[in-house]
Structure 1
Amino acid sequence: MGKEEIESAFTKELFDKMQKMIEEKKMSMENVIVLLKRMGYCKTLKKIWIHSFEKSFLNKRFEKMIVEEEKKKDEEKHEILLVDLCECYLLLSKGIPDELLSICMSCLLKVATKNEKNDEVLEEVEVALLALSCINMFCNVPKELYLSELKEIIKHHQEHHNLTRLAYQCIWEFLINRLIKDENLEDVALNELHFVREARRELKDLTGSADWKGKEEGEKGGRKEAKEVLVIKRWLLTLICFLYLYKLLSEELTGLFGGVVSVFRAAKDNCVDVSSWCTTSLRRIADIRAIDVDVSLKKGIVDLFSGEMKQSSLNDEIIKDGLFFFFKISGRLKEKTDNEAEKMKRKATKMEMFEKMEEEGFEDSIVSLYGEISFLNKKYKELSKNLADYFVNA
């Protein structure tokens, strides 16, 4: 199912009808759970946000059942049911009350720490981690609820490769989302668990194995997006979040930029969403003060944006990202400094950038986009209407 189909199908009315069918004993809770888990898996894998479940009576029923099940004595507790309830709840809800947070975290991390390498366990772990990745980045999750288990899961996978690619992406997504509330986790993510190295490797492997041309077919014969492509999208969104929150400087990061450029080259003719998210993540680099501008030259980011902006058929997102990138880069290269070594380095970078732009016919490209710039400026206030702002004065 695509985004529009999911949004039209997953309605409050549908969930309320399921709740009524449970009460009238026309549908068993077991069947409801199987259906809801599949629905939640589908919409979460594709990063489609819906709010209909949390507004439904069925949502309230699940909240009550989770609390009641957790309060039971150990010998009376139905662990499998509790896991199912927590997974359905997180996969379909956007927010989570504090009362349920610790219950769901404890329950699903217990599943996620299973290390057996058989298909059944791999699927259980994948669904549990996918559900945990749904916890909103603005939700305050105390470190004592997850950090030791999370580190254990990541380190074990790095040594034994026991997780699916989706499961591994999900656990990183959960951790990177926590940075917005606790920037001290940056050191854990970068230096202890090596986020940048792992993200670069995963993107490279997924890019090489993905079915970019959509050879797989859906039930109605239409194009079915390969799971590898969907996981790449999720990595790119996680990377965008990371770059937005980024504070520390890492030498590994420049290699990751080159990896994103490679993903863009592989996807641009076949997957518009991936291309757009690539350019969005790359434009964030222009905002990171710790990253030298010449990194953009060395890793092919300037080539990518200058080349793409010459194309006659671009979507607004790629044009916006390109303009934003060059606007920020130009501004940084025009900044004054009293450091002589920095002056010489910046002068060399500006000259190299100027020659690159001249070679690519960048000035003509910008002039041809004059009307587009005026249009986009009304939508994206961070852009400039002044064409001169998009050039580097060497």
Structure 2
Amino acid sequence: MIVDEDEKNEEKNEKLLADLCECCLLLREGKFSELLSICVCCLLKVALNKEENEEAQKEREMALLALNNTGLIKIKKEIFLNEIKEIIEYRQSHLNLSRLAYQSAWQFLIFRFYNDISLEGVIVNELHFVGEATRELEELTRILYWKKKKGELRDKETIEEKIIKRWIQTLDYYFNKSKLQNEELTGLISSIVKVLRASRIINRIFCVWSISLLKGAAETEAVKINYLLKGGAVDAILEEIQQYTLEDYRMLYHLQFLRRILTILNKKKKNEMEEEERKATKIMIIKRMEEEGYADIIPSFHEIFVIIYYYYYGDISLDISDYFLFV
């Protein structure tokens, strides 16, 4: 039906075609064929509609949610790039999309970036992804705090929680491929830390996801260690780890994060400026860890490290020296 409707020269039913394309993308669960290019082009056209009425709004939202269901499937950038840029830029100026639809537009683009690193310049420099993700996460976290204060949070997951989860997933893919570094990342790390701290009140699973996200950013070196430090990631980990016992599996993620940070900082750099920066960052972290009682925290787990390792089957070093810094 999609092919038949798309090939019509006259009297093409655009509404029917869009509905069929939405059904195709939403129901096929990532298993697509030659219909993909037709569906993407059709739904981007719908999402580009700038009419200001309830029907057009609903159609834009549904089109972007359906497009997001393409996952990591490769799509030629000639098919989508100009259109998705226009959709994102127009929303930044006119606020014509809900937070969920806006996040869907970004996720569609970041999924494309995962397979095509040439998109990074557009994503970072033209569309300002880091700043937008920072702002969205901070606003969503504030809304959830306000709802909690007003007693509006229930056992059922809120729309804001769903969107935060999707942003965390999007950022995970972004950090996996990103190479561009700038001070703006400090703000993004700070916003992730706010989600981490808010997890005590809002949703405990956010804690694990946030730590995994920060650990991934460190592992791929998408974020410099000094940005992690300035953004409060190290402080948050040291603060959180003191709350846990052997039974709390989240402790494992925190220890893995610390070990990864220390491993990176113990690798000497060939570039003289980078080596000086590495040493300075190590000194700052040593000072911070001494202030937070780090020397007491990690040894306190020493006797139970073997139990932790086998209990959670985690990638955690049994050598206590792996958790200390040497300048």
In 2 relative to 1, CA 366–117 (structure 1 residues): closer, same or farther, beyond 3 Å?
Answer: farther
What amino acid sits opposite 1:262 in the alignment? K
Structure with greater Cα Rg: 1
Partner residue, 1:70: 6
Matched, 1:109 2:44: yes
Match of residue 84 from structure 1: 19
CA positional deviation for 1:118 = 3.0
Q: Residue 244 of structure 1 aligns to which amino acid in structure 2? A: N
Residue by residue over 1:259-304, the C-alpha shift from the partner in whole angstroms, topping out at 9 and shown as x without a partner, is 1111222233320232222212111232243643222222111111
SS for the counterpart of 2:115 is coil
Is 1:207 equivalent to 2:168 in the alignment? Answer: no
Note closer, same or farther for the CA distance 1:272–1:91 as it changes in structure 2 (3 Å cut).
Answer: farther
Equivalent residue for 2:126? 192
Deviation of residue 343 (structure 1)? 4.8
Q: Distance in 2 between matches of 1:290 and 1:276?
A: 19
Tell me whether 1:385 sits opposite 2:321 in the alignment: no
Distance 1:186 1:365 in 2: 40
Taking the aligned partners of 2:258 and 2:197, their CA distance within structure 1 comes to: 20
Alpha carbons of structure 1 residues 71 and 345: separation in structure 2 relative to 1, 3 Å: closer
CA displacement 1:320-353 (0-9 Å, x = unmatched): 4322221121112222346665555433432332
Closer, same or farther: CA 162–315 of 1 in aligned 2, 3 Å:
farther
199-208 vs 273-282, which deviates more?
Answer: 273-282
Encode CA deviations 1:128-165: one digit per residue, 9 max, x unaligned: 1011011121x110111111111111111111111111
Task: Give the TM-score normalised by the residue count of structure 2.
Answer: 0.88
- Aligned-residue Cα RMSD (Å) equals 2.5
**3-state SS of paired residue (1:184):** helix
1:258 is the counterpart of 2:187: no
Matched residue type, 1:170: S
Query: In 2 relative to 1, CA 390–107 (structure 1 residues): closer, same or farther, beyond 3 Å?
Result: same
1:248 is paired with a residue of what secondary structure? coil
Letter in 2 for 1:207: T
Q: Match for 1:164: what amino acid?
A: S
For the 8 Å contact 1:306–1:362, the answer to whether it is kept is yes
Residues 271 and 336 (structure 1 numbering): CA distance in 2 closer, same or farther, change over 3 Å? same
Give the CA deviation at 1:181: 1.6
Cα distance change of structure 1 residues 179 and 345 upon mapping to structure 2, 3 Å threshold: closer
Cα displacement (A) at 1:226: 1.7
AA matched with 2:322: D
Find the aligned partners of 1:376 and 1:73 in 2 and give their Cα distance: 65
Is 2:278 the partner of 1:346? yes
* Paired residues for 1:1-394 under 5 Å: 65-75=1-11, 77-137=12-72, 139-210=73-144, 213=148, 215-216=151-152, 223-289=155-221, 291-312=223-244, 315-316=248-249, 318-337=250-269, 342-369=274-301, 370-371=305-306, 373-375=308-310, 378=313, 380-381=314-315, 383-394=316-327
Where in structure 2 are there 5+ consecutive unaligned residues?
Answer: none
Q: CA deviation at 1:177?
A: 0.5
**Partners of 2:290 and 2:240 in 1: how far apart?**
15
Write the distance in 1 (CA, Å) between the matches of 2:269 and 2:184: 27
In structure 2, C-alpha distance between the alignment counterparts of 1:245 and 1:286, rounded to whole Å: 12
How far apart, CA to CA, are the structure 1 residues paired with 2:28 and 2:307?
38
- Structure 1 regions of 5+ residues with no counterpart? 1-64
Letter paired with 1:194 = H
Structure 1 vs Structure 2: percent identity of aligned residues? Answer: 44
Higher relative contact order (CA 8 A, sep 6+): 2
Write the letter of the residue equivalent to 1:83. Answer: A
Distance in 1, matches of 2:189 and 2:308, equals: 26
For 2:152 and 2:296, how far apart are their aligned partners in 1? 40
**How far apart, in 2, do the equivalents of 1:140 and 1:338 lie?**
36
CA contact (8 A) 1:286 1:329 kept: yes
Task: Please say which of residues 79-88 and 332-341 is displaced more in the overlay.
Answer: 332-341
The amino acid across from 1:252 in the alignment is E
Q: Is the 8 A contact 2:68 2:108 kept in 1?
A: yes
State the SS of the aligned residue for 2:264.
helix
Q: Distance in 1 between matches of 2:27 and 2:205?
A: 23
Please list the CA deviations of residues 85-135 of structure 1 after superposition, one character each: whole Å capped at 9, or x if unmatched.
221222232224331101111221111001123333222211110110111
Distance in 1 between residues matched to 2:33 and 2:323, nearest whole Å: 47
Determine helix, strand or coil for the equivalent of 1:271.
Answer: coil
Shift of 1:374: 1.4
Q: Does structure 1 conserve the Cα–Cα contact (< 8 Å) formed by 2:168 and 2:213? A: yes
TM-score calculated relative to the size of structure 1: 0.74
After superposing on structure 2, the runs of 4+ consecutive aligned residues of structure 1 that deviate more than 6 Å are none
